Structure 1
Amino acid sequence: MAADSGQRSLFGEILDWMLAPLLVIWPISVALTWLVAQGIASKPYDRELGEMARSLGLQVAAEPRSQAAANARSRYALSPEAAALLRADESDTVYYLVQGTRGEFLSGDKELPAPNPDEAVVPWELRFRDDEVSNESVRVAYLWVTPEGNAKGQMLVQVAETLGKRSRLTNEIIKGVILPQFVILPLAVLLVWLALARGIAPLNELQRRIRSRDSSDLSPIDERRIPDEVAPLVHAINDLLQRLDQSLSTQKHFLADAAHQLKTPLAGLRTQAEFAQREIDEGRSSPQELKRSLQQIALSSQRAAHMVNQLLAMARAEDQEHAARRSEINLPEIAMETVRDFVPRALDKRLDLGYEGPDDEHSGLRILGHPILIRELIRNLVDNALLYTPAGGTITVRIVEDPFGQVCVLQVEDSGPGIAEAEREQVFQPFYRALGTNVDGSGLGLAIVREIAQQHEAELTLDDARPRRPGFVEPDGMGPGARFTIRFHAHPVAEPEAGAGPDDAEAARG
């Protein structure tokens, strides 16, 4: 599935997150307003309806109960003036009902329903309920009254009113609250948009400043004119620019040094070729002179090839992605193979090159790393020792395993003149060569060693192989020697399971 290449707008996302709550809250606000408006509209009309019911109750309670029932019904009926007053409301219809102590009808509107019979009867307590009369919703105020002279019986008085006035007042309140919101809401959206546009303006200015910079301008971005929220991002960009500037400066310096170093063997190669060609053209060349010229050409080409190989090794060591691909490595095995590869060269120089440490069959520790880089590290250390150790000297490649299984130590030491303490940091710089030596090297070997060690989080140290003796001159260029020590983090070998054969054990060691 193709990846979505669309970019998200920070402005649009913030605007969405600010407007979305408004669009959700607004319908909730309308519903709450309607509920509150109903309560506000009902209170004055409930108060008026309750006063009517209480007045009717006082009138009913004051009637004597000693007269005949037929005459009693006529007495409990409202007077024509009171009935006219109840019916005077043009908006709503008012109903009333008076029932005797036994629930009999005394006066009013029979269609008005009675309250819930399970309700507790509390004399003179005014109550309200919503009900229906002739399929029309009404608000009912009712109470039980105690007639004079009859403390045991309770009469029910109810007054009901339709909801026309209440609905109109509720609608008026809602209109008064909701209609302004139709003006306020777009205005709020506009103000939010303007505020966001103003808030994003410093980012647009920062973008303009960055886009207007020259591609070679790696100077830090001014952090004084940016919002506090963006300061960490700009600080990180400045840190990246600083590291990029350092990296580019290092690469330029490296390329300049590499070009300078390659210039010498290439110039010698060209000079020897031109000299041989001139001698041939003039007819003065002899086989011996031609042979010497060819030898010089071969030596110059060998130097150039060695330099190119070292440059490639340096680039490979600095490749973070390449170095990140790690596997389990048997360090003693690689060390022994490297020593075997250099034995012919050591014999030619009359050097004693040897290996000390466990063999690959008895090594209980491994390291995690890149096999090619680790092999390159050991080769450069041995090559450096071969270059600086005079004839008759000794070179030892040593593997020391930590009994606690924490580290695996690689040492390469020689019996050469050693490295002065003041120069021990400089020898790891590319193309640096110790003063007073005529060794034909590239100056990259130890720089490659340090880069590979750093890629593997290993500790690299350099010291003398033997104590220095002030005033004592070693014969034939011998000296305290140099010892390079690299401590790798150990990776224990998995123990083979019970019953596993030799092949399984070998597979477990990797």
Structure 2
Amino acid sequence: MSSQAQNALEENDEALRRQQLGHIVASSRLLTETVNHILSQATLTHRFQSQPPKTVSLDRLTKEVCREVVVPALQKGVEIEYLGKAEFETKGDDFALKQMIRNIIENAVKYSRPHSVVEVSLDVERSKPAAEIVLQVRDQGVGVSDEEKKHIFERFYRSSDNVHPGTGMGLAIAKEVAEHHHAIFRLKDNEPRGLIVEVVFPCDRGKRS
């Protein structure tokens, strides 16, 4: 960033100087996102070690996140639709779970096409040997290849053809939060295009009303 700023100061071509300033703005945003993710992870680590679990409303947290990110999403031409109807509770850390949900939805918005919809739902699956509470986020973006699905939860992972700016930390942090709450991630292909991200909580840790 310092080198980019110095070049912009010395550049006489106005068009090139504006391009350099744009690079500085983009680098600044990426640095801010990186620092925020590092601070968030430090906060989560501390809370996991110091805060006892309490009863948390998953549907309330999910709806709160949807309301908080709807305006930034609309600015990118993406709508967010919450489809959940039931109320669910689990034992855990509300701050951590909210951060996890935010990271998943913001990631879906980032990779969505303009004029598309990110659908968020919370429901129970009873077809398994044991019932499960499933948080699902469906986007209509570029999708993720089977090979990339193996790596997207790795810290700092960025695919070689990824043109979207990012730190590669958001989903890694989300996975840590899920594991702390004995939940797992499932990744599926959306139809006709896009990605479905599911966070599956064992039902014996949750309550439906």
TM tier, shorter chain?
0.7 to 0.9
Structure 2 counterpart of 1:351, from 78, 88, 102 = 78
Higher relative contact order (CA 8 A, sep 6+): 2
After TM superposition, give the deviation of residue 315 of structure 1 in Å. 3.3
After TM superposition, give the deviation of residue 481 of structure 1 in Å. 1.3
Structure 2 counterpart of 1:421, from 146, 162, 173 = 146
Asked if 1:306 corresponds to 2:42, the answer is no
> Following the alignment from structure 1 to structure 2, what is the Cα–Cα distance between the partners of residues 425 and 293?
36
1:428 match: secondary structure: coil
After TM superposition, give the deviation of residue 370 of structure 1 in Å. 0.7
Does the 8 Å CA contact 1:317/1:451 hold for their aligned counterparts?
no
The residue identity in structure 2 corresponding to 1:276 is: A
Does the 8 Å CA contact 1:367/1:408 hold for their aligned counterparts?
no
Q: Which moved more, 1:451-460 or 1:296-305?
A: 296-305
**Larger-gyration structure (1/2):** 1
Asked if 1:448 corresponds to 2:173, the answer is yes
| Within-5 A mapping of 1:356-367 | 356-358=83-85, 363=87, 365-367=88-90
1:63-119 deviations in Å (ceiling 9; x for gaps): xxxxxxxxxxxxxxxxxxxxxxxxxxxxxxxxxxxxxxxxxxxxxxxxxxxxxxxxx
Cα gap change, 1:403 to 1:461, in 2 (>3 Å)? closer
Q: Name the counterpart of 1:387.
A: 110
Q: Name the counterpart of 2:5.
A: 273
Structure 2 counterpart of 1:438, from 163, 180, 199 = 163
> Following the alignment from structure 2 to structure 1, what is the Cα–Cα distance between the partners of residues 68 and 53?
24
> Following the alignment from structure 1 to structure 2, what is the Cα–Cα distance between the partners of residues 485 and 341?
20
2:152 match: secondary structure: helix
> Following the alignment from structure 1 to structure 2, what is the Cα–Cα distance between the partners of residues 465 and 493?
27
Q: TM-score, length-normalised on structure 1?
A: 0.37
After TM superposition, give the deviation of residue 277 of structure 1 in Å. 2.9
After TM superposition, give the deviation of residue 316 of structure 1 in Å. 3.6
Asked if 1:371 corresponds to 2:103, the answer is no
Give aligned pairs, total. 204
The residue identity in structure 2 corresponding to 1:491 is: G
| Within-5 A mapping of 1:290-329 | 293-319=20-46, 320-322=48-50, 325-329=52-56
After TM superposition, give the deviation of residue 487 of structure 1 in Å. 1.5
Q: Name the counterpart of 1:337.
A: 64
After TM superposition, give the deviation of residue 294 of structure 1 in Å. 4.6
Q: Name the counterpart of 2:196.
A: 483
Q: Name the counterpart of 2:207.
A: 492
Cα gap change, 1:276 to 1:354, in 2 (>3 Å)? same
Give unmatched runs, 5+ long, in structure 1. Answer: 1-268, 467-478, 495-510
Give unmatched runs, 5+ long, in structure 2. Answer: none
| Percent of pairs with identical residues | 27
Q: TM-score, length-normalised on structure 2?
A: 0.85
After TM superposition, give the deviation of residue 493 of structure 1 in Å. 7.0
2:165 match: secondary structure: coil
> Following the alignment from structure 1 to structure 2, what is the Cα–Cα distance between the partners of residues 461 and 317?
22
| Within-5 A mapping of 1:84-233 | none
Computed over aligned residues only, the root mean square deviation of the Cα atoms, in angstroms, reads: 2.6
1:292-321 deviations in Å (ceiling 9; x for gaps): 555443332221010111122233444540
> Following the alignment from structure 1 to structure 2, what is the Cα–Cα distance between the partners of residues 335 and 353?
12
Cα gap change, 1:291 to 1:448, in 2 (>3 Å)? same
